[in-house]
Structure 1
Amino acid sequence: MSLTSVEGNAGGDGRGRRMADLDAAQVAAWLQQNPEFFETHRDLLSQIRLRHPHGGRAISLIERQVTVLRDSNRMLEKRVADFLRIGRDNDALSMKMQGLAHALLGEREPSRLPGLLCAGLRRGFDVPFVLVRLWADVNLPETSQGPVSSRLRQWADRLDQPFCGPAEQQDEIVAWFPDRGQEVASLAVMALRAGNETQSFGLLVIGSHDPNRFQSGMGTVVLEQLADMAGASLSRALPARQVA
């Protein structure tokens, strides 16, 4: 198809019939197949007037193309900036995880590990509520003492990835926060295991005032790494018969 052939078939009705014979897709296809068109009709580039995308005034086709390219560049610059920010955030998170791991590995007294873990998470990861609950009958700092239902222990054994969601779904766990449980809006709950054991020996719980801080469907890779690190470290604080 060519523009001239369509115009020749239009007959005497003139411009109205010629425009009716062409649609936008045909015009676009013809221009793609004839890229030399604007080379031989350079004056059209400055004569065609288009509406400015960010205002009502008319601009030339060249100006419009420059505007499109500028907008595209701004979008690319924003994406690059987002990637750089995410990279910096990931680097900072990696350094915090490494620092916490070093602190746990360097602690020679197992009874101090729960407190060290909780303090490190509060300080380095900006979480207001952190506690460790072990099934062991030992008095460890920062470990909530008291009964744990068999239902919750069974639930922890089945927990193959961290639970993230509203605190109201975990009434028993929220009750472990003394005098402040009503302030916890969302939770991340991780089962603690020794090595490759399938049975859990406790829970690591992180809470937030923000109901959207921990929610179902969020990424849990970092939390899973934290649970593995905490489980490996805290298993040293358990009686030997429980980690055999």
Structure 2
Amino acid sequence: MEQPNTQLTEEDIERFLSLNPRFFHGREKLLRSMRIPHVSGKAVSLLERQNALLREDIAELNQRLETLISHAHENDRLFNRLRSLVLELMVVSSLPQLAEQLHLHLTRHFNVDEVRLLLSTPGTTHAPWIAPLPEAETLGTHNDLLSQSKAVCGTFDQPLTQLLLGPDTQSQSLAMASIHYDQCYGLLVLGSTQKDYFRNSMDTLFLTYLSDVTARVLAHLSNQ
């Protein structure tokens, strides 16, 4: 048995719209997506050009809005993970516990591969993930890291990476934040085996905040 032809023709659509003149009421989204040329001969009318520009502006604004919403969601997730870490740091009672919590949370919840706390305080080499801060002259052209007021990220030469994270490091990109407490100072160094994970263009607000919290905890521990 031959199947009836159910494909709509332009005449069918025209007839439907003529019988339903209020069809587009409440369907603004559909109207905005439609392309309705304004008859003006061979030239493109000003009205049609204006409509095209408005559609482009709307599409660009929608894309920006989606990007902002995506960033807001990611910042919410980052804030919640950082909040959990800060709460754990507030109750540590020793330097090894501090280093352990930093390593645990940063590697487990922030996709960091290596964590090292470099401190100028003597006698801190006995704990995992803690090492003496290199002398300024060994840092070469990077001896201003300790004076930076905000964290820095990016790829650095291999000798510096090994100096900060050890000779066996596999990290290809680093994030570093200076720490100042009492009369001491140091660096919080995070490493990733991905070369583009820590980029010099990325926002460092959360890492700078974490270094400030770490400094407060260190000051408290040193006064115990």
- Could you say whether these structures have the same fold, taking a TM-score greater than 0.5 normalized by the shorter chain as the test? yes
| Structure 2: runs of 5+ lacking an equivalent | 1-37
CA apart distance, 1:166:
2.1
- The equivalent residue for 2:159 is 171
Q: Indicate how the Cα distance of structure 1 residues 208 and 79 shifts in structure 2: closer, same or farther if over 3 A, else same.
A: same
- The 1:157/1:63 distance shift into structure 2, 3 A limit, reads closer
CA shift for structure 1 position 179: 5.5
Please tell me whether the aligned partners of residues 117 and 187 of structure 2 are also in contact (alpha carbons under 8 angstroms). Answer: yes
Q: Specify the code of the residue in structure 1 equivalent to 2:62.
A: E
Deviations 1:40-74 (A, max 9, x none): xxxxx4133457xxxxxxxx765554443333221
CA contact (8 A) 2:134 2:163 kept: no
Q: CA deviation at 1:203?
A: 1.4
Q: Size of the alignment, in residue pairs?
A: 183
Q: Does 1:48 align with 2:34?
A: no
| Pairwise CA distance, 1:78 | 0.8
Residue from 226, 229, 235 that aligns with 2:210 = 226
Which TM-score applies when normalising by structure 1? Answer: 0.62
Identity of aligned pairs, percent?
A: 24
Say yes or no: does 1:148 pair with 2:141: no
1:49-128 correspondence to structure 2 within 5 Å = 49-50=42-43, 64-128=49-113
Among 176, 182, 187, the alignment partner of 2:174 is 187
Separation in 1, partners of 2:107, 2:190: 9
Q: Structure 2 counterpart of 1:177, which letter?
A: L
The 1-side partners of 2:162 and 2:98 are apart by 22
Distance 2:61 2:202 in 1: 26
Q: Which has more radius of gyration?
A: 1
Tell me, what secondary structure is at the counterpart of 2:39?
Answer: helix
Any unmatched runs of 5+ in structure 1?
1-44, 52-59
**Conserved in 2, the CA contact under 8 Å of 1:112 and 1:141?**
no
The 3-state SS of whatever aligns with 2:112 is: coil
Question: CA offsets, 1:192-223, max 9 Å, x none?
Answer: 122xx5x5432110112333333445433222
Runs of 4 or more, structure 1, over 6 Å off, are none
What CA RMSD, in Å, does the superposition of the two structures yield over aligned residues? 3.1
132-141 or 110-119, which deviates more: 132-141
